[in-house]
């Protein structure tokens, strides 16, 4: 439980590459900050430390969600992408990391996400270092396009908020962050 407590809810950092216009019109957003044990870890390694290690029960839930989404004509990752996420060595804008295309990538931030008929979402992993501590801030924004996006978020947001904090905490607890 102590690791979950080291993950704190916060504002989306002003230094983030997330499009400020999208942040301002986002129907939903959240942001969580956590300590980094090693400040020299690359932002792609941080992303993978959090999002490439889902337990099987979480993968099953994601595959079920994606199956339902695909029935409605939405772009969703295949079950094989969830079960065995590809991990590369070098990433560039336009590549896929995990199951998401990369929209922005720098030494300190990776922004990935997906655009769909019902909503567009972006996930930012922002690394920051000050004189004494290193931390990561994971932020999500969702811009809805229609009622289906609002309905989808109504059901997903409680799981998302818990799940992101849990994944970050698990990465800390297992020594990946």
Q: Based on the number of CB atoms within 10 Å of its own CB, is 80 exposed (0-12), middle (13-18) or buried (19 or more)?
A: exposed
Contact between 142 and 119 under an 8 Å Cβ cutoff? The reply is yes
Q: What is the pLDDT of residue 88?
A: 77
Going from N- to C-terminal start, the domains of the chain cover 2-173
Q: Give the Cα-Cα-Cα angle 21, 147, 72 (nearest 5 degrees).
A: 110
The pTM of the full predicted model, rounded to 2 decimals, is 0.88
Q: What is the pLDDT of residues 125-158, one digit of tens each?
A: 999 987 778 999 999 999 999 998 999 899 889 9
Q: Please compute the mean of the pLDDT values over residues 65-78 and round it to a whole number.
A: 73
Instruction: Give the number of other CB atoms < 10 A from CB of residue 46.
Output: 25
Q: What is the pLDDT of residue 5?
A: 62
Q: Which two tokens stand for residue 177?
A: 């962050």
Q: Is 121 helix (H, G, I), strand (E, B) or coil?
A: strand
The CATH classification number of 2-173 equals 3.30.530
Q: Is the pLDDT of residue 161 over 80?
A: yes
Q: How confident is the model at residue 104 (pLDDT cuts 50, 70, 90)?
A: very high
């Amino acid at each position: 439980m102590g690791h979950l407590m080291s993950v704190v809810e916060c504002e989306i950092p002003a230094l983030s590459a997330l499009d400020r216009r999208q942040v301002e019109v986002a129907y939903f957003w959240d942001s969580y900050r956590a300590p980094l044990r090693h400040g020299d870890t690359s932002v792609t390694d941080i992303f993978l430390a959090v999002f490439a290690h889902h337990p099987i029960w979480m993968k099953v839930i994601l595959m079920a969600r994606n199956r339902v989404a695909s029935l409605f004509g939405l772009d969703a990752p295949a079950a094989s992408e969830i079960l065995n996420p590809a991990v590369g060595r070098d990433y560039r804008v336009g590549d896929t990391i995990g199951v998401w295309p990369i929209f922005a990538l720098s030494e300190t931030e990776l922004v990935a996400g997906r655009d769909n008929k019902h909503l567009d979402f972006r996930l930012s992993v922002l690394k920051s270092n000050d004189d004494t501590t290193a931390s990561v801030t994971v932020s999500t924004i969702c811009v809805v396009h229609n009622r289906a996006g609002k309905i989808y978020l109504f059901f997903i947001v409680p799981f998302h908020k818990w799940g992101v904090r849990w994944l970050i905490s698990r990465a800390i607890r297992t020594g990946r962050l």
